[in-house]
Amino acid sequence: MNQQEIIKTVRNLPLESQRQILDVLQRDVEKQTRPTISEDEVERILFERGIIGNLTNADAYTDEDDDFEPVKIKGKPLSETVIEDRE
Q: Where are the domains of the chain?
A: 3-86
Q: How far apart are CA 45 and CA 23, in angstroms?
A: 27
More confident residue, 2 or 56: 2
Task: Of 29, 43, 47, give the one whose Cα is nearest residue 21.
Answer: 29
pLDDT tens for each residue of 49-71: 888 887 776 555 555 666 778 78
- pLDDT for 11 equals 93
Q: Is the pLDDT of residue 46 over 80?
A: yes
Contact status, residue 28 vs residue 21, Cβ threshold 8 Å:
no
More confident residue, 68 or 45: 45
SS3 53: coil
